[in-house]
Amino acid sequence: MTSIATIAAAIPSAIAIGHGSETRSPMAYVVIGGVLFSTMLTLFVVPCAYSLLTAFENKQHMKEVRSAIKELDDAAKTGNNENKP
């Protein structure tokens, strides 16, 4: 919503014709482009990066779980129990 409002506010400066518009138009173009670019990053790139990092984290977690299960199985087979008096 704020991105749309910012772009809408910069459009009149971008298409302005008249005295002094040659100094304001380039800034309006940059504002519109920057807001569009940051919005696209926020909507598409950030969720994709989060998804990739979550998948990596899940792989690391599963590796730790398998290691813990293996240790428990080994302890059960040898009869070693750390809780015995």
CA angle 45, 50, 51 (to 5 degrees): 100
Over the stretch 40-60, which tens digit does the pLDDT of each residue have?
999 999 999 998 888 888 888
- Mean pLDDT taken over the chain: 87
User: What residues of the chain score a pLDDT lower than 70?
Assistant: 80-85
pLDDT reported for residue 19 = 87
pLDDT reported for residue 7 = 93
Place of tokens 């059960």: 76
Q: How far apart are CA 49 and CA 60, in angstroms?
A: 17
Evaluate whether 53 touches 67 at the Cβ level (below 8 Å). Answer: no
pLDDT reported for residue 83 = 55
| pTM exceeds cut of 0.85 | no
pLDDT reported for residue 82 = 57
